[in-house]
A and B are shown apart, each in its own frame.
Chain A
């Protein structure tokens, strides 16, 4: 059974860079042409897709965040990562990582439990 686990700093200062990692277990991130994504949820609000990296290496980002986001894969560590620069209080949220299909319309079929990131000085 595939499992995803987010980790990273839970408290980030304004203007700094948020960095999170999603460790994949129960399967290889390199086996199967899947997509790997990040989604966030501000406290008490709805879900927002951040970005995805596909098996081909192609990356796709939410246009509203594109200038600040990088999603990448480290196949040697069986994990993928999120970097969000120049954070503000509006970036405070629970951040989820998720696996999706290789192609076609994206959806998240396996999700991590989520990690809360607070942006505050």
Chain B
């Protein structure tokens, strides 16, 4: 069971907006640690999509946006495209026990 909780799957039609939640606790997101998001296309390595809660690296379309509030964070994809069908992971730092980088369990986005 992951320290960060994501829905297993979300789906949407092309052009729609979908959001993926990442729920943590007072020892990670709620403690002020940044949340980062990755996209993993089938059979490929993860790709950084959002860092520092809401910052897009160069080359990432502005259809992808991130936000954080309290003990949760969200990734929004607007104008959903077929190429967005992938697994998405959130990641943060957890200060419990000895401290560790932690990932969410991942969310499969399906474009209908």
Q: Which residues on A are within 8 Å of B, measured CB to CB?
A: 39, 46-49, 52, 60, 62-64, 66, 96, 104-109, 111-114
Contacts and interface: CB of A to CB of B under 8 A. Distances in A.
A113 to B, nearest CB: 5
Interface in B51-68: 51-52, 57
B33 A114 contact: no
Contact of A105 (B34, B44, B97, B98): B34
Contacts of B97: 63
B93 A105 contact: yes
B100 A63 contact: yes
Given A66-B98, A96-B46, A106 B106 contact: no
Interface residues of B, number: 27
B104 interface: yes
B105 A108 contact: no
Interface of B: 2, 33-34, 36, 38, 44-48, 51-52, 57, 89, 91-93, 97-106
Nearest to B53: A105
B103 A108 contact: no
A49 B45 CA distance: 14
Contact of B106 (A46, A49, A114): A46
Contacts of B46: 39, 47, 96, 108, 111
